Chains A and B, each alone.
Chain A
């Protein structure tokens, strides 16, 4: 039974939740409110005055081909990052789950990348794929492939996807492994006696029983791909070439802080906020029904 603790006074409970409320207010409610407010104005070129334009910023954005292209880029990018990081993590987790000896070592090694900050991960991958001195570029050159993500939009996208997914594999791996180990051994054995071979067992027993984990990771990874990959993109491609890797959150930054169009940037933040809210609601409403808890 859950125990309910009741406080006698009002001041102690308020004091206890105050730090969280203050942090949320200062770092979320205030900037979010300010963004909504700013999205209704455009500043003059020198930043000295602001002019009220109503929903003008939004109208402009929705008819802007660059902004629409950024939507497509974001969709492609987040789908790829989620698919790659979850796919590889699941594969590794299945292998690690079958290990009897040395699984601790593999686990530790696989968790390491999670400790690397996204921007640092970006720089590491950038070094390896540097068009002039990169190790991987050199090997690809030996194989007759001319790697140049600075000029080739597809290669640029590939590189940021790999770099973003790489750090994420550890996190997903941990959850998948825990999920796999939570499946009772006897259920797997029962399926084996029932005649199911490895792949059939995985498809009909293991994967369905893993669905709560998969669902949770899907939500978390899409949100990650939307927001936290900024560091990777900033260090590797800065959104280029030809804006091929400018995802929505990067465009907020480049339009606002490089292009100095704070009104448009604020409007983009608001759109992004709404988009992620909708995405999360859809995921919980429609996907959750097919999840076996």
Chain B
């Protein structure tokens, strides 16, 4: 168990800086999810904490100890890789015991610790199998088991669920969350899936092109996004962005964001905005309606599935509660005076 601190952490490859300074204090036992699209530097950030990438500037502290110059093996961490990185020539037991054997843990203790981990992860019957004889979900569990037997201070997860099918992913997501709660180990978890981020995180770091755009609890990030990038990335379907100048007296370049579920459809005369229905997607529990205004702006509305579905080409108005709208400046940053 340990705290993790990143101080103005930067990474450059040659002359190109790809991570522009990330700061965060992670509390002991906290579950932090680093989320962002591919190429935003989230994996690189994690690998710097692991010691698999060198740090160009700034400092990583684990348990208050600066570890920039410390080898991965001496950082008291365990990592779960996207492709699991199991040792293909070793049995499940040996895969989990490898780190302990190297650490010269007594044989009897290795056995009890591996068996305890296998018990938690329901791997008991598979201990003598080779990784190639296991399913994707089981391999994932072995990778988890290898991390937990070593009782590290920090768990690092690098997109551990992205090679699994959708159903298994949801199941493993819950298991990871439960396991982390039970063991209480500080965790950093990288993913590009915003649903994973929302459900797992105590706090999340939303990465955008090497910058941490926002750090906060999932609902806080969702309800109070700091930039257009965060507002657009977290939430599905994404937030609508409208040209504020077309709706109200606002300077050019300011955009007004409103989430699809905040918008209601009304008659044309009552709306803050009116448009024609481009197409409607009834999904059962809810219906997504895509409106297009006369000046070419698009607006997605998410309404309850029991409400009537408008026909394509219908002219309708849209309204929303002003407290549900967000204004962003031309630089994409939130304009704070609106609250």
- Give chain A's interface residues, CB within 8 Å of chain B: 184, 186-187, 189-197, 200, 204-205, 208-209, 292
CA distance A190 to B50 in the complex (A): 10
Please report the C-alpha to C-alpha distance between residue A197 and residue B72 in the assembled complex, in whole angstroms: 10
Given contacts A194-B98, A195-B102, A196-B73, contact A189 B85 (CB under 8 A): yes
How far, in angstroms, from A46 to B183 measured CA to CA in the complex? Answer: 92
| Interface pair B81/A192, CB less than 8 Å apart | no
Report chain B residues within 8 Å CB of A292. Answer: 88-89
**Could you list 11 further interchain pairs (A-B, Cβ under 8 angstroms) beyond the known A190-B85, A190-B86, A192-B73?**
A184-B85, A189-B50, A189-B81, A190-B79, A192-B52, A193-B73, A193-B99, A195-B99, A195-B102, A196-B102, A204-B98
Which residue, A194, A204, A209, has most C-beta atoms of chain B within 10 A? A194
Known: A195-B73, A195-B103. A190 touches B89 (CB 8 A): no
Query: Of B51, B82, B88, B102, which is within 8 A of A194 by CB?
Result: B102
Please pick, from A192, A200, A204, A205, the residue contacting B72 in the complex, using a CB distance under 8 A.
Answer: A192
Q: Is the CB of A193 within 8 A of B83?
A: no
Closest to B80 in A: A190
Residues of A within 8 Å of B86, CB to CB, are 187, 190
Across the interface, which residues of B come within 8 angstroms of A208, CB to CB? 89
Q: Is the CB of B99 within 8 A of A194?
A: yes
Contact B72 A193 (CB under 8 A): yes
Contact: B85 with A187, CB < 8 Å?
yes
B113 within 8 A of partner (CB): no
**Does B78 count as interface, using CB distance less than 8 angstroms?**
yes
Q: Are B52 and A189 in contact (CB under 8 A)?
A: yes
The 4 tightest CB contacts between A and B, nearest first, are A194-B99, A186-B85, A292-B89, A190-B85
Tell me if B87 counts as interface (CB < 8 A to partner A): yes
Chain B residue numbers with a CB within 8 Å of A205 are 87
Contact of B192 with A by CB under 8 A: no
**Main SS at interface, chain A:** helix
Q: Enumerate B94-142 residues with CB–CB distance to A below 8 Å.
A: 98-99, 102-103
Interface of B: prevailing SS: loop
Q: Is B185 located at the chain interface by the 8 A CB criterion?
A: no
Q: Does residue B146 face the partner (Cβ distance < 8 Å to A)?
A: yes
**Partner among A186, A194, A204 whose Cβ is within 8 Å of the Cβ of B83:** A186
Q: B87: which of A187, A192, A200 is its contact (CB, 8 Å)?
A: A187
The answer for the CA separation of A79 and B103 in the assembled complex, in Å, is 37
A236 CB → nearest B CB, Å: 41
Docked Cα-Cα span, A95 to B67, in Å, equals 27
CB-defined contacts of B88 to chain A, threshold 8 Å: 187, 209, 292
**Complex: chain B residue closest to A209, CB-CB:** B89
Interface positions of B from 48 to 75, Cβ below 8 Å from A: 50-52, 71-73
Q: In the complex, which of the residues A189, A197, A208 has the most CB atoms of chain B within 10 Å of its own CB atom?
A: A189
Q: Kindly identify which residue among A184, A186, A200, A209 contacts B102, using a CB–CB cutoff of 8 Å.
A: A200
**CB pair A197 B87 closer than 8 Å:** no
7 contacts between A and B (CB under 8 A): A186-B85, A193-B52, A194-B102, A195-B102, A197-B73, A200-B102, A205-B87
Contact present for A191 and B81 (CB under 8 Å): no
How many angstroms between the C-alpha atoms of A276 and B196 in the bound complex? Answer: 60
- Nearest CB of B to A191, in Å: 7
CB distance from B47 to the nearest CB of A (A): 8
**Distance from B133 Cβ to chain A, minimum over Cβ atoms (Å):** 13
Q: Is B327 an interface residue (CB 8 A)?
A: no
